[in-house]
Structure 1
Amino acid sequence: PAAAPPVPGAPLPAVPCFTGRPAEVEALVTLLTRRQECGTSVVVLSGAPGIGKTALALHAAHLAGGHYPEGCLLLPLTRSDGTALPAEEAAEELRRALPARPGEGRGRLLVLDDVVHPDQVRPLLTANTGGAAIVTSRMGLAALVATHGGAVFRLGALEPEESHALLTAVLGGERVGAEPSAARRLASLCGHFPLALRIAAARLLTRPRLRIADCADWLRHDLPARLTLADDPRMSVPLLLDGALHRLPPPLADAHLRLGATAHLPLTPGRAADVLGMPEETAEAVMEQLLDAGLLEEGPPGAFRMHELLRAHARRAAPRTAHQPTVLRPPRREESRQPADRPPAALR
């Protein structure tokens, strides 16, 4: 379907060279274009920082936009300084972007980006009667799904062939075809994370004489610190992951760093208890919180794992952090925080 005309003052950003996730794209577009038939008007996209949640949301919104006569709106749920936007301010932002008029809310698609807590978006969903919303968050937002229903997509890293397709779309088939093995190695070093792949590809685009193999070798010697662009500090994997840790209560962030320093094995509650110096039941609760924050993945039954890119960041960040073993409690909403510098919306 054709894309909707942009909402005045708030057009959806384009997603350059979007590739991959065909099953998710098809499912999302189906849900958004046949929401009455599918019985849902809310879609939650969750996953690790830099995994491409916002890019997928925007891509799907562009494809389905023609089904929303009042247009599509991207509403970031964090302030410009990076702190969580309270529900009242989010509602005011929405009112300013779309002044009240007869029939408002009857056919609008909202992209509610980077949600920290369900209470930020519940009033917006209630007000958007007749429309639909794509909600992106590092958190699982199970409480939101419990109260408002909806479909849930937990995004992981791209498949190797999807990473190869992304590099080809950005760099061109000739350049990637000249160094196929180096391109595969580069994608692996980037952890098949879309943001990391785009940063590496941008470096290669601006240095046309640089071989893919040489870029991969350079990155390999200092990962993930070299996955950053000098002319825009927002385009930085380490800064993004630092921000993810700053959102957590300090004891939980410390637990992430300590677990990241362990051997690359599935993390069972018993192993985590040994590493963290706490009872096994408490260690399991800690890992559940890290899973919900997008910093751990589910492994075999009863175990978790940490993606290698996040593990590399944890190993690098751990010496800068004093370890403070603490019995953890769930974070209060006002404790959620992050640095202001985030990648542009179309690349998150």
Structure 2
Amino acid sequence: MAGEPTAGGTSNHFGGRAETVIQARDVTYHHHHAPAPPPVPDPHQVPPGTPLFVNRTDDLADLGGWLDPDVGGPPRMALLTGLPGVGKRSTARRWAEDTRGRYPGGELYIDFAELRGPSGGGDLFVALERCLRALGVADRYLPTDLGELVALYRTRTAGRGVLVVLDNVTSPAHVRTLLPAAPGSAVLATSGRRLGELVLDGARLLPLEPLSAHSGARLLTDLCGPERIAAEPEAAARLVEGCGGLPAALHLAAARLLIHRRLTVAALVAELEQESGGLAALALDSANGMSVLLGIACRDLPADALRLYRRLGLLPGRGFDAETAAAADGTDPATARRLLDVLDTASLLEDAMSDRHRLHDLVRRHARDRAESDEPAAEREAALGRIVDHYTVRAAFADRAVMGNRLRITDHEELLTGQEDPFAGPGARDTALDWLEAERADALAVLRAAAAHGLDRRVWQLAESLTALYLHHRHLADWIESGTLGAEAAARTGEQAAEARLRSLLSRPLMDTGDHDRAREELEAATTLADASGHPVLRASVREFAGRYWDRYDPARAVRVYVDSLALNVAADEPRGAALARFFMGGALIASGDREAGLAALTEAYEALSALGDVRMAGRALAALGRHAHSAEALERAAEMLRETRAGHYEAEVREELAGLLERSGDAEAARGHLSRAVELLAAGGSPRAGELRERLLSISPSGGHPAPPAFEERGPGRSPGKR
């Protein structure tokens, strides 16, 4: 009807804008619909990793097995830890790249190092805000309360699986709070700290180890170019070794080589290998270098842990236990263990799964640099003195446990009275020998440092005690260096008896390595010094060592020297020394043609040494008797006695003898077993004869079709097989 209001409406579109027209009576209403906001894109925030990424195959596989988004189930957490510069961030980014697109909700990224502020928790607040913005929440809708932020974050991540990558986290709360809610989600975090509490939340802790030498060389070549590395292959290998498998160090080294084209690899290595200040070689400027990176790792250490860190840098060796750390720090072992736990949590220690620890070479350099800059010179000297004293006392206790009541120049009563014996109780001998073996390289480093700082009395005392190890495990190069340093230190202090003792002992590894001329010189000097000292047992002992030299060249003269040694031992009422003189004299008598007298002397020596409870030397005497009687049974018993006392060098001699005897009897299989054991023992001790015996082992056919071995030859009990 004309003039009547019209009910209803129409819809029109103008320029893409929807308009609804509603007519009521004589009024027309126009209602405009706001356009729908564009959809929020899924976040893909993880920065790209380095294209020069090597190895880490096993680490990426571990992450894949744990964080696989296709497995579903509750959200998972993984934490990559390790030394500063070991590649935690690049490994996390490579994993994120490899899995891009497999998390339907995208990937979020937070670097807590950027957010670190003076107030605790502020960084977490900002991290949540950033994540929520990336998930489409406008600033005006962001709560101002931390709890409400967390609740909103969980709501926004409840729909689709999300990967969250967190760098440089310092608190378990960083990881727990940012765990997405949707099944199949994951948090992959990196930290310089071992945040073990996260295990309670089901997290997987994955410590990264430094790169292998092969992977380090490959990375350096990729960074510098193959031509640059091929031009100096030996220097490049030393550079890779000096960087210790830390990708950050290799990147810094490569950057210096690329920036300074006239800098050779060898020159860079020379800078790095300087003991003091060498870390400056791995720096581009004051803000980019390994010292800066390691300084960040130390930044939050408590004062007492930082002090221990600095003083550990003063250790001459690389390995240490809690007792050694306590000596360096001037504290007690319990306190040292607590502080070592702090350093371990900060990823500044290696091998912390055992009772022995070590500092990575670059970490040790940084700690030493901090000590030189922050510790007074007097305290550094005092720390070294405590370290040397610790090793001297501990090695003396070990010597006593291993060798019993033997000739020593070190006054154990003076040195050890009031000290706690770490090797007391059952199994003391084996425990002491294990300690000496474990500390072998570090004890020698301490000896060198003590000699360099003029601590001469401690040098010869420590060198004398270390022979307890060398007599059993025969580390010949170490023995020669230790004995030389000890003898020279004793000479500087005018300790004639100590010098004579060490020079006579030194003759043994010199003869074993074929340096017979120097061995003779040492023995001649030792004889003169021992006679001048007036020490009767020492005079007898030096002659015993001299006799063992003459065994090789003049058995009749050796007999005369042993007779002198026997007489001096008897006069001094030294039954063990007398038994040893008879033992060595027996072999010399046989070698000089008096077999009956020689066997009688060996038998008397065996009985006397057995009565004294000296199983090691009794085993050697029995071996000599078995050798000259061609008795496999006696040699078998002797080999077991020497194995029992862990006298590896002498056990190897007997095993070699047995192998020859069994070869001749046609038992090739048993011969191979004994010879294989001999090779193992000699190789462990660094003997040059290991290679010779290995070749002989290869020549023995299990079926018995092998070249005939050389004819059996008589020799003195102190001789190595095959040597006259």
Contact 1:45 1:155 survives alignment (8 Å): yes
Contact 1:20 1:166 survives alignment (8 Å): no
Return the match for 1:97 from 111, 122, 134: 134
Deviation of 1:193 after TM superposition, in Å, equals: 0.9
* Distance (whole Å) between structure 2 residues aligned to residue 131 and residue 156 of structure 1: 27
Who is 1:226 aligned against?
A: 281
Higher RCO, Cα 8 Å, sep 6+: 1
1:117-266 equivalent positions in 2, closer than 5 A: 117-125=171-179, 127=181, 130-147=184-201, 149-221=202-274, 222-230=277-285, 233-266=286-319
* Distance (whole Å) between structure 2 residues aligned to residue 227 and residue 110 of structure 1: 32
C-alpha spacing 1:124/1:80, structure 2 compared with 1 (3 Å): closer
Deviation of 1:11 after TM superposition, in Å, equals: 4.3
Contact 1:6 1:12 survives alignment (8 Å): no
Who is 2:43 aligned against?
A: 7
C-alpha spacing 1:128/1:319, structure 2 compared with 1 (3 Å): farther
* Distance (whole Å) between structure 1 residues aligned to residue 182 and residue 260 of structure 2: 46
Who is 2:323 aligned against?
A: 270
Deviation of 1:217 after TM superposition, in Å, equals: 2.3
Who is 1:88 aligned against?
A: 125
Return the match for 1:301 from 350, 354, 364: 354
Who is 1:340 aligned against?
A: none
Moved more, 32-41 or 236-245: 32-41
Summarize deviations over 1:220-239 as a string: whole Å, max 9, x none: 33421221113xx5421111
C-alpha spacing 1:128/1:121, structure 2 compared with 1 (3 Å): farther
Deviation of 1:301 after TM superposition, in Å, equals: 2.7
What SS does the corresponding residue of 1:226 show, helix, strand or coil? Answer: helix
C-alpha spacing 1:142/1:320, structure 2 compared with 1 (3 Å): same
Summarize deviations over 1:216-264 as a string: whole Å, max 9, x none: 223333421221113xx54211111112211212221111111121121
Summarize deviations over 1:297-346 as a string: whole Å, max 9, x none: 1257312111111111111111332589xxxxxxxxxxxxxxxxxxxxxx
Mark the runs of 5 or more structure 2 residues left unpaired by the alignment: 1-40, 138-152, 380-724
1:321-336 equivalent positions in 2, closer than 5 A: 321-322=374-375
Aligned residues: 316
Contact 1:75 1:113 survives alignment (8 Å): yes
Bigger CA radius of gyration: 2
Matched, 1:20 2:20: no
Who is 1:327 aligned against?
A: none
TM-score, normalization: structure 2? 0.41
Deviation of 1:124 after TM superposition, in Å, equals: 0.7
Moved more, 172-181 or 47-56: 172-181
Who is 2:91 aligned against?
A: 56
C-alpha spacing 1:186/1:128, structure 2 compared with 1 (3 Å): farther
Summarize deviations over 1:150-204 as a string: whole Å, max 9, x none: 3221112211001001012112223222322221111112222110100111122
Who is 1:112 aligned against?
A: 166
Summarize deviations over 1:39-80 as a string: whole Å, max 9, x none: 872111001111111111111111112211222222112345
* Distance (whole Å) between structure 1 residues aligned to residue 105 and residue 97 of structure 2: 14
Matched, 1:74 2:102: no
Moved more, 82-91 or 299-308: 82-91
Return the match for 1:29 from 53, 57, 64: 64
Amino acid in structure 2 at the alignment position of 1:27? D
* Distance (whole Å) between structure 2 residues aligned to residue 302 and residue 14 of structure 1: 37
What SS does the corresponding residue of 1:43 show, helix, strand or coil? Answer: strand
* Distance (whole Å) between structure 2 residues aligned to residue 215 and residue 82 of structure 1: 37
C-alpha spacing 1:265/1:169, structure 2 compared with 1 (3 Å): closer
* Distance (whole Å) between structure 1 residues aligned to residue 188 and residue 353 of structure 2: 30
* Distance (whole Å) between structure 2 residues aligned to residue 103 and residue 248 of structure 1: 37
Contact 2:46 2:96 survives alignment (8 Å): no
Contact 1:35 1:41 survives alignment (8 Å): no
Mark the runs of 5 or more structure 1 residues left unpaired by the alignment: 325-348
* Distance (whole Å) between structure 2 residues aligned to residue 151 and residue 74 of structure 1: 19
Summarize deviations over 1:7-45 as a string: whole Å, max 9, x none: 36x342332301122211222234333562798721110
Moved more, 213-222 or 183-192: 213-222
* Distance (whole Å) between structure 1 residues aligned to residue 42 and residue 362 of structure 2: 36
Contact 1:186 1:212 survives alignment (8 Å): yes
* Distance (whole Å) between structure 2 residues aligned to residue 38 and residue 185 of structure 1: 48
Amino acid in structure 2 at the alignment position of 1:110? V
Specify which structure has the higher proportion of helix.
2
TM-score, normalization: structure 1? 0.82
Who is 1:330 aligned against?
A: none
Matched, 1:41 2:111: no
Q: What is the percent sequence identity of the aligned residues?
A: 34
C-alpha spacing 1:213/1:40, structure 2 compared with 1 (3 Å): farther
What SS does the corresponding residue of 2:278 show, helix, strand or coil? Answer: coil
Contact 2:210 2:244 survives alignment (8 Å): yes
C-alpha spacing 1:176/1:38, structure 2 compared with 1 (3 Å): farther
Moved more, 102-111 or 283-292: 102-111
Who is 1:311 aligned against?
A: 364
* Distance (whole Å) between structure 2 residues aligned to residue 244 and residue 151 of structure 1: 22
